[in-house]
A = this chain, B = another copy of it.
C-alpha cells in the first residue's frame, strides 16, 4: 500500500505501527502522551506498546462514547497534560475512533496554543474519514463538532489489524462513508464495493477511500467549495444523528445516520438534481440491505429541521444539501426547502 501524501503530513498503511514507533523515535519530543478510551486501551494499546520497547509515555484515558466528546472531558485532557508537565515539544498520540481523534486533536491544537499530534485511527470510520482533513472538534449540548479547529496532524498511521476487534456495527458505520466516497466521485469504486465482502473491508478498499477523501480535502482545505462533496448524506444524516443521540437509549452510529441521510438526499437528488430512478433504487437497495430500518415519526420533523438549521454547515436560515447528479457525480450548495426535506424523510419512512 502506498503512503498517501496529504497537506504536509503522510498517511502510512504498511507496517503502520512500526512507522509510528519510528516517528516517535526520530521526533525530538520531550515527552509523549497516548490518548485512549477504555476500549482502545484494551484492544489497541497492547499492539502498540508491544513495539515501544520500553519507551516511556504517559497514558490519558477518557470514557468512550460520543456523549463524552464534550468540553468536560476535554478540560480533563488539558488538566492531565498540565499535571504530566506537557510542554510545547510534547507529542500527543490519539489512539482510537473518531471521538478520540477529534477530541484529542482539539485538545492538542489548543494546548499551549498547539502541540504536535498524530492520529492513529482504530475504527473503520476514523480510518476512512476522520484520519485526513485536519478537522478537530467537540460537541456542546449535543451539537456535533460545534467547537473545533482546522489543524493538521503531523502524521496518520492506519493499522488494518485494529479492525479485528471492532464490533460489526462499527464496521458498518465506517462503511457508510466508503459508500459515500464511491457515490460522490468514483462510480467504479462504488461498483467494486457492492461486490466486496463488506463485513470485512480489505485494506485496499480502506486505502482507496482515504485517497478519495484526501484528494478532496487537499483541493479545498477550509470547506469553501468542493469539500462540501463530502457532506452528501450529512445534512439530513447529522440531524438524525443528533436527534437519536438526544432521544434514544441505544443511539444510531454516525454511519447508520448517514446511510439514512444518503437515502433521503438521493430521493431529493432524484426529484431535482438528475439522479435517475434506477440509480435511486440501486442506492436504496444497497443501503437498505446493509443498514437496519430506523423509526422516524412525523412528529419529529420540526426538531430534525431545527437541527439542520443549527448545523454549522449552514449560513443564515437556508438549508443546503450536496446532491448526486448521477452515481459518481455531485453538485454542492443546493438549497432545499422544508417541504423537500420532509418529503424525503417520508420517502424513507415508507420504504
> Which residues of A pack against B, CB within 8 Å?
30, 71, 75, 78-79, 82, 85, 87-89, 106, 109-114, 135-137, 140-141, 143, 145-150, 310, 312, 314-316
Contacts and interface: CB of A to CB of B under 8 A. Distances in A.
Contacts of A147: 78, 110-112
A141 B140 CA distance: 21
Nearest to A115: B312
Contacts of A110: 106, 110, 147-149
Contacts of A106: 110
Contacts of A71: 71, 75
Copies of this chain, tallied across the complex? 2
Pick the 9 closest A-B CB pairs, nearest first.
A112-B312, A113-B148, A87-B315, A89-B315, A110-B147, A30-B316, A113-B150, A71-B75, A78-B140
Contact of A316 (B79, B87, B109): B87
20 contacts: A30-B316, A71-B71, A78-B146, A82-B143, A88-B315, A89-B316, A106-B110, A110-B147, A110-B149, A112-B146, A112-B147, A112-B312, A113-B135, A113-B137, A113-B145, A113-B148, A113-B149, A114-B149, A114-B150, A149-B149
A114 B140 CA distance: 15
B312 A149 contact: no
Contact of A82 (B75, B82, B135, B140): B140
Contact of A146 (B82, B135, B314): B82
Given A71-B75, A315-B30, A315-B88, A310 B113 contact: no
Q: From A89, A106, A137, A146, name the one whose CB has the most chain B CB atoms within 10 angstroms.
A: A146
A202 to B, nearest CB: 33
A53 to B, nearest CB: 23
A70 to B, nearest CB: 10
A80 to B, nearest CB: 11
A180 to B, nearest CB: 21
Given A71-B75, A79-B141, A113-B137, 15 more contacts: A78-B140, A82-B140, A82-B143, A85-B310, A87-B314, A87-B315, A88-B312, A89-B315, A106-B110, A109-B149, A110-B149, A112-B312, A113-B135, A113-B145, A113-B312
A239 B246 CA distance: 44
Given A75-B140, A82-B140, A82-B146, A312 B87 contact: yes
Contacts of A89: 315-316
A76 to B, nearest CB: 11
Q: From A71, A82, A87, name the one whose CB has the most chain B CB atoms within 10 angstroms.
A: A87
A146 B87 CA distance: 10
A35 to B, nearest CB: 16
